[in-house]
Chains A and B, each alone.
Chain A
Amino acid sequence: MSASDAVDATGVSRAEFCAIACAEVFRGDGEVMASAFGTAPALGARLARLTFAPDLVLTDGDAALVDGAPALGARPTELVLESHMPYRKVFDVVWSGRRNLIMMASQIDRTGNQNISAIGDWARPKAQLVGVRGAPGNTINHTTSYWVPNHTTRSFVEQVDVVCGVGYARAASAGPAATRFHQIRHVVSNLGVFDFETPDKVMRVRSVHPGVTIGEIIGATGFELVVPDAVPETRLPTPEELELIRNVLDPRGLRDREVKP
């Protein structure tokens, strides 16, 4: 990606489009726990909470739920705590379904499977990653989306090496208990936004970030994407949203370290 296409004519950075795209993941949610891994998702959840999804419940990333939407990197003393949420209670929330999550993915595939466990053969991996973590249980119990800050043919693959987060085809093959609460909502990358709103539930281009071409996205994807005849651009932030991102939620500009301007 060259510097010239990172900022569009309106002066909105790519990282800011990513934050807006992540905020959109929470649109229409009522009182659910928003969990967000990565900088753009953390910004997006806070932005949604302060604007169009005011009932969202945010966490402090440790063992508490917080009131309002603290800035990224806020000190613990700056937080207003509203409830105790240790890990054991997090599972109560996960299994109740009252959660909307953006996880990261080392690999993601055409039907929405995600991998954070290992690269290569699981039995003797080329690279051991962190482990499946809560991905199997999350995806089967509540709405899940993904954030991939580095969209390449190595992250967007035909088939993931280890299915951690469960995609549509795998959920369907596991039966009604698996599909009942399963929804992979969006995949947000540094290039665009994707969903599974096709008859056979395979990945579709939902929007491209301004400054990115469809050709670029296709070239960076290791499988055949569904590309509608007319693909919109990821929406612009409102002036209020831009003000919140730049001056309230991320005054230190952490977003630009994740997605280079």
Chain B
Amino acid sequence: MADKRLTLDELVGELRSGMTIGIGGWGSRRKPMAAVRAILRSDLSDLTVVSYGGPDVGLLCAAGKVKKVVYGFVTLDSVPTDPHFKAARQTGAIEAMEIDEGMFYLGLFAAAQRVPFLPTRAGLGSDVMRVNPSLRTITSPYDDGEELVAMPALRLDAAVIHVNRADASGSGQILGPDPFFDELFLGAAERRFMTTERIIATNQFASEGALQTMCISRLLTDGVVETPGGAHFTACVPDYSRDEVFQKAYVAAAAEPDRWSAFTKEYLEADEAGYQAAIETPDGGAS
């Protein structure tokens, strides 16, 4: 079997400015934050970010990496909104495609199935149709004749997800209660990457969790990166829950440019090992 192990730098090296990039997870849960932090340190720009949005979106907006965000929401769960995303929208710094979160699912599903669209009632009558004038409806070809939204495929140039365990050939295991839409992000993408808390031998999956936790097949991945703590500060249960204290510090730092540059300097300028060391021994600079 192919060895798909990469470093974070190699993963980022596969990405290009201007790409449409899908990011797995949901809100402030199981986000591939180590990969996001690596993108922050790169020269990449003009990205279109497709995400059930959390601090991944906020951080990329704050670093000026984003041209456009495709989302149904951007939330930190225990904090209703992300301050950087909010600022980017309110200053007009980014383009936006805001759609119903079920439409978002169908867009990924359509791309994964290689069909141009999937029909749905979701969106009918709402301002989703007004603020996204490119969206079309379609009339059922059957006797009912219903007019439905034709949710276009959300095709991704690349996708990154974060899972609890993976093996070197790119199978992944999600041990938390919700696999979210990670499989569909990978299915919708040309280049498919997975970061993981721990790379283990394939024959160890069964001792970690039941068969249904082994939900990412290697058919869906091109590269796998071991990033312990790689979802921090978002939740990655059962390995760790959300770091609410750190998330609060992130939100507070966003309130003033000075505090944000101190936060950036303390946590985001060094490499991933530096980040993990900084969160182990915080010197209080961000709080």
Judge whether A86 and B179 touch: CB under 8 Å: yes
Q: Are B90 and A127 in contact (CB under 8 A)?
A: yes
A141 at the interface (CB under 8 A from B): yes
B42-88 residues with Cβ-Cβ distance < 8 A to A are 53, 71-75, 80-81, 85-86
Q: Which B116-148 residues have a C-beta within 8 angstroms of A?
A: 120-128, 130-131, 146-148
Instruction: Give Cα distance in the complex from A164 to B103, angstroms.
Output: 13
Binds A, one of B12-20, B93-101, B264-272, B278-286: B93-101
A218 within 8 A of B: no
The CA-CA distance from A109 to B72 in the complex, in Å, is 22
Question: Given the known A-B contacts A131-B74, A162-B131, A163-B126, are A181 and B121 also in contact in the complex, defined by CB atoms under 8 Å?
Answer: yes
Contact residues in A for B99 (Cβ distance below 8 Å): 132
A38 at the interface (CB under 8 A from B): no
Per-residue CB proximity of A117-142 to B under 8 Å, as 1/0? 11000111111111111111101110
A169 — nearest CB in chain B belongs to which residue? B125
Cβ-based interface call for B180 (8 A)? yes
Within 8 Å by CB of B101, from A134, A171, A173, lies A134
Q: Which of chain B's residues have a CB closer than 8 A to the CB of A28?
A: none
Q: How far is the CB of A25 from chain B (nearest CB, A)?
A: 22
Inter-chain contact B128/A132, CB cutoff 8 Å: yes
By size class, the interface of chain A is: 35 or more
Asked if residues A124 and B102 are in contact (CB atoms below 8 Å), the reply is no
Q: Which of A88, A163, A170 contacts B105 (CB 8 A)?
A: A88
Residue of B nearest to A163 (CB): B127
In the bound complex, how far is the Cα of B254 from the Cα of A217, in angstroms? 38
| Interface magnitude class on chain B | 35 or more
CB distance from B50 to the nearest CB of A (A): 14
Instruction: Given A91-B102, A125-B89, A126-B90, check contact A133 B72 (CB 8 Å).
Output: yes
Query: Number of contacts between A and B (CB, 8 Å)?
Result: 141
**Contact indicator B101/A133 (Cβ below 8 Å):** yes
A139 to B71, CA, bound (A): 19
With A131-B71, A136-B123 known as contacts, the answer to whether A125 contacts B90 (CB < 8 A) is yes
| CA–CA, A165 and B124, complex, Å | 10
Tell me if B257 counts as interface (CB < 8 A to partner A).
Answer: no
- The answer to the question of A176 belonging to the interface, with a C-beta cut-off of 8 Å to chain B, is yes
Closest A residue to B119 using CB positions? A177
Nearest-neighbor residue (CB-CB) of B127 within chain A: A163
B178 within 8 Å of A (CB atoms): yes
0/1 per residue, B97-113, Cβ < 8 Å to A?
Answer: 01111110100000000
CB-CB contacts below 8 Å: A139-195 with B: 139-141, 162-166, 170-171, 173-178, 180-181
B102 and A86 form a contact (CB under 8 A): no
Question: Is A87 touching B81 in the complex (CB atoms < 8 A)?
Answer: no
Q: Which residues of B contact A133 (CB under 8 A)?
A: 72-73, 100-101
A95 part of interface (Cβ distance < 8 Å): yes
Q: Are B73 and A137 in contact (CB under 8 A)?
A: no
B89, B121, B125 interface centre (most CB from chain A within 10 Å): B125
Residues A95 and B102 in contact, CB atoms below 8 Å apart: yes
What is the distance, in angstroms, from A144's C-beta to the closest C-beta of chain B? 12
A141/B122 in contact, CB under 8 A: yes
- Indicate whether A18 reaches chain B with its CB closer than 8 angstroms: no
Contacts A130-B81, A170-B125; A137 near B101 (Cβ below 8 A): yes
Is A64 an interface residue when CB atoms closer than 8 A count as contact?
yes
A137-B178 in contact (CB<8A): no
B251-274 toward A: CB 8 Å interface, digit per residue (1/0)?
000000000000000000000000
In the complex, what distance in Å separates the CA atom of A165 from the CA atom of B128?
10
Asked if A94 CB lies within 8 Å of chain B CBs, one says: yes
Contact call B121/A132, Cβ cutoff below 8 A: no
CA distance A122 to B53 in the complex (A): 18
Please judge, given known A-B contacts A63-B178, A88-B179, A134-B102, whether A140 and B72 are in contact too, CB under 8 Å. Answer: no
Interface centre among B75, B81, B102, by most A CB within 10 Å?
B102
10 tightest A-B contacts by CB? Answer: A137-B122, A131-B73, A174-B125, A136-B126, A63-B177, A177-B146, A128-B89, A178-B124, A166-B125, A137-B102
B-side residues, CB < 8 A to A, are: 26, 53, 71-75, 80-81, 85-86, 89-90, 92, 98-103, 105, 120-128, 130-131, 146-148, 177-181
Question: Measuring CB to CB, which residues of chain A are less than 8 angstroms from any residue of chain B?
Answer: 62-64, 84, 86-88, 91, 94-95, 117-118, 122-137, 139-141, 162-166, 170-171, 173-178, 180-181
Identify 17 new A-B residue pairs, CB closer than 8 A, beyond the known A86-B178, A174-B124: A64-B177, A86-B177, A88-B180, A126-B90, A127-B86, A131-B72, A132-B72, A132-B126, A133-B73, A134-B122, A135-B100, A136-B122, A136-B124, A175-B146, A177-B148, A180-B121, A180-B146
Some 29 contacts from A to B, beta carbons below 8 A apart, are A64-B177, A87-B26, A87-B178, A88-B105, A88-B180, A117-B98, A118-B89, A123-B92, A124-B92, A125-B90, A128-B89, A128-B90, A130-B74, A130-B80, A131-B73, A132-B72, A132-B73, A132-B128, A134-B102, A136-B123, A136-B125, A137-B102, A140-B121, A140-B125, A141-B122, A166-B125, A174-B125, A178-B121, A180-B121
